[in-house]
Chain A
Amino acid sequence: MKKLLSAPVLFAAAGILLVVGVVLAFWYSPIDASSMGFSQKIFYYHVPIAAAALVAYGVAFVAAILYLRSQDLKWDRLGYVSVRIGLLFSILVMATGMIWGKASWGVWWAWEPRLTTYLLACFLYAAYWVLRSVVDEEQRRATYAAVFAIIAFIDVPITYFATRLMPSGLHPVLSGLAGSMAVSFGICMLGMLTLMTALIKRDYEIELIKDRVTDLKTSLGG
């Protein structure tokens, strides 16, 4: 079971799911009948990446709580890598969203609720990154980062519900996908969540190896 959930296996599974998903999105799912037309195909990766970023921030939130309860640095490492992967995915969401916005709205950016709250999440988690770099002492850095991760997470549900609570008429709301579209979308979503898990797992392993390197250097006296 442990081998089945190893990073290489997860990467392979994510690769297969994402390729199958995109093939289905282009050759099985119909072209959207709305004004978005062919550019709607961006949706099959854009939305799963956005969801995966929010899930990664959720993992950081849970890791922060677990760290504050246990003071175990492994939770700090997990929170740190989750924010890093969340930010990576957020950058992709912003980039693909801007391209999609240009194609369907005619502008690269619009100050509407979903985009604005998502941008705010990016800034908050970038600030988490900065915060970590300015505190030297390990336990203190982990505590500050955990508290900040919990506060920053407040923006995540706001981002998720932004289009429902404050409809602007610009950003589409995901609802009632047709059969073939739902299948393609579901496979892409599963693939992207698997990729996010694989990336977090790989980066977490890197952090553990870095800790081991530090320990060995200390035992060698420098």
Chain B
Amino acid sequence: MTVAEGAKYVAAAYAIIMAVIIVYYFMSSRRVAVLQRDIQLLESEVKRQTPAPGAE
């Protein structure tokens, strides 16, 4: 197999690896950001619903 013949297979293999890993990385990063935002919202809601000590 010549370099030119092999190159298209090699390029395809590396392109698939890079694409899948990069897409997965950004998906998980986005998921972390969304979940952290949810946590902040929920924590502020819990604080709002919990009466401050001594408050009546």
A45 in contact with B6 given A88-B24, A202-B28, A213-B35 (CB within 8 Å): no
Q: Which of B9, B25, B39, B45 has the most CB of A within 10 A?
A: B9
The answer on a CB contact under 8 Å between B28 and A210 is no
Chain B: interface secondary structure? helix
The answer on a CB contact under 8 Å between A45 and B24 is no
Which of the four size classes fits the interface of chain A? Answer: 35 or more
A103 in contact with B6 given A36-B1, A92-B16, A206-B31 (CB within 8 Å): yes
Q: How many angstroms between the C-alpha atoms of A104 and B10 in the bound complex?
A: 11
User: B20 on the interface (CB 8 Å rule)?
Assistant: yes
Chain A: interface secondary structure? helix
Which residues of B have CB within 8 Å of A103? 1, 5-6, 9-10
The answer on a CB contact under 8 Å between A38 and B20 is no
List residues of B whose CB falls within 8 A of some A CB.
1-3, 5-7, 9-10, 12-14, 16-17, 20-21, 24-25, 28-29, 31-32, 35-36, 38-39, 42-43, 45-46, 49
